[in-house]
Amino acid sequence: MAGCNWERIGIVDIFKDAFRFARENLGILAIIALLGHVLTLAQSTYEFIFGQELSNFTLFLLAVAELFINVWVRTALITSVASLRFGNQFSLAEMKKAVSSKYWGVFVTILKWAFFILIIALPIYFVALLLSLAIPNDLLIILQLSILGLLFYLSMRFQFIIHSAVLEESAFGAFLNSSRLMKGRFWKVAGATLAFNIIFAIIPGIYFFLDKTQGLSNLPAWGTYLLSIAYSLYGVAYMVFEVSFSTLLYLRLKALDENSARVLSGVSIDKQDSANGGHHE
């Protein structure tokens, strides 16, 4: 599997398939993704109508609620994309049933991922903080870049843990499965993932530039409200296309692994037959 190339994985074809797939199924997928932005839209509407911001405690409760909702939304989207991809008869009732059976497993997987990152990041952060008092700035910059590189590597290595937890594996098995799928393909898959996100970062980048140069934050209340709605809708579109792309990429890598396993199994049988004089036992 280490000898995989761009043609074998079919990165370009996956890009094309993901955008075509997302367009063809935009209606149902957008409705599911919109659920993940309901609370944000409700917050913006409240602030626009009543002209006051929510309390910090209320914002905290909304953030917690959004966490639970977004786990459900991402689980539902991955389930729906895989089902539609395989040509299965799709229904909201079946999707909700599948999500209900997988939800807590996915939630536990995400918690384990967050705990794993904290275990690695916190000691590194405190060590870097202490070293910043004793080493030159040049070395400190190198250390910081090394830390960012490590976090990037881990995020790419385990980027399919949610897909694995939704479509097949247990919470622990999801990490092993994601790591196995990335073996020998890391830079190809990481490059494709980065390219995809760079494409979708163009519009937020334009907004950030205009905000710094034209002062979009100084818009009247109705302008800020419309801008928040537009940003939420863009978030819906991004989630639909991102989950379509990542799920199709996951299914492709999974199929490659299964084909490789069948080939290796066939080679093993052929060798055994040769050892037995060309006859099966």
- Which tops the pLDDT comparison, 218 or 227? 227
Least confident of 107-116, 121-130, 272-281: 272-281
Q: Which 3 state secondary structure label does DSSP give 149?
A: helix
pTM confidence score? 0.84
Q: For residue 210, what pLDDT is reported?
A: 76
* Residue 267: pLDDT band with limits 50, 70, 90: low
Nearest to 235 by CA among 115, 90, 117, 66: 66
Residue 139 pLDDT > 50: yes
Question: Of the spans 145-154, 215-224, 268-277, which averages the highest pLDDT?
Answer: 145-154
CA distance 3 to 10: 14
Cβ burial of 119 (10 Å; 0-12, 13-18, 19+) is exposed
Query: What's the average model confidence in pLDDT over 186-197?
Result: 92
Q: Tell me, what's the pLDDT at 254?
A: 92
Mean pLDDT value across residues 204-218: 76
Query: Which amino acid belongs to residue 98?
Result: A
CB contact at 8 A, 131 and 143 = yes
